Amino acid sequence: MMARILPIRNAILILAIALASPQVGEADIDISSGFWSATYNCPDQKEGDATWLTCDGLKAYGNWIASTGQVEQITPLANMAAGGGGSGQRHWIGSGKNNNSGSAQFCLTAPQPELWFRYYTRWQQGYFMSGQQAQKLIYGVGGGPYIDTNGGDGIRVVLNGNVVAMSTAGVWNTIMGGQVSNGKWHEFQFHLKAAGANGGGDVWVDGKHVLSFTGYDWGSIKGWQCVIYPENVESNATGTTMYQDIDDVAISTKGYITSLIPGGATGSAASPPSAPTNLRVQ
């Protein structure tokens, strides 16, 4: 059973990836070419349908329903116009803790010791995230790691309840201009590497390198196979249920994934820049 989110002071974006068996959906993804991507080029569907989830090789995870009745969807309303076409994934977030719709995941045919994962996302304009609230944007079926950030501006990597690395700047407040969503699309990219004592990871937000750490041993984790996104939440102080859209997901085992949008989703550099600042490695 996957743990639900607890109050987190310095977190919104949450990454979690792990060795795990798929829950629902299509066959595992063959990434022997080193690259895979999806634009949600599939029929409209929603959580609870007999066909949920059959779209671009993705799988369903979790059957959660927001307290106001909203469920996870594939819909043209969630498409990023500047992306590769198709539709998009609409996630719903209500006020309070663990009040959200379900998740999607990809599962590869075999664990990968190093991978990059990129997606574009937007939170409905007016969505509010304070420094005391958090959301898991990606989560590992088998327990980790995850990466989180909140309505403050930091981001951290967490494994088995322990903070592996964290940065204190460059995320929510930076890209939104405050604690309230600007309703625009933003690009997130994650990198994980398992190499004994030489493991590590990175996070880029709108092309900016906001977190990097090396020299970390992931222990029993020798690679990553399944990635859930997004996941549970303690968020949204607006008193309403609001959407989060996700589109144009991509996975690489060969290196950083180039932005679909010249200059990045909000005009920042699309290639990995110099080392991030405000970094602390535990």
Nearest to 116 by CA among 246, 42, 209, 23: 209
Query: What pLDDT was estimated at residue 123?
Result: 93
For 97-110, write each residue's pLDDT tens digit: 889 999 999 999 99
Q: What is the reported pTM?
A: 0.85
228-239 burial, b at 16+ Cβ within 10 Å, e below that, comes to bbbbbbbbbebe
Which of 20-29, 51-60, 228-237 shows the lowest per-residue confidence on average (mean pLDDT)? 20-29
Report the percentage of the chain scoring pLDDT > 70.
80
Domain range 17-255+268-281, CATH architecture: Sandwich (2.60)
Task: Residue 114: name the closest of 59, 191, 47, 166 by CA.
Answer: 191
User: pLDDT grade, residue 10 (50/70/90)?
Assistant: very low
Listed range (12-21, 87-96, 209-218, 228-237) with the worst mean pLDDT: 12-21
Q: Average pLDDT, stretch 53-75?
A: 94
pLDDT, position 125: 93
* Residues 147-196 pLDDT 10s: 787 777 888 888 888 989 888 889 999 999 998 999 999 999 999 999 99
For residue 269, the model assigns a pLDDT of: 33
Specify the pLDDT at position 276: 47
What is the rounded CA–CA span in Å between residue 92 and residue 67? 10
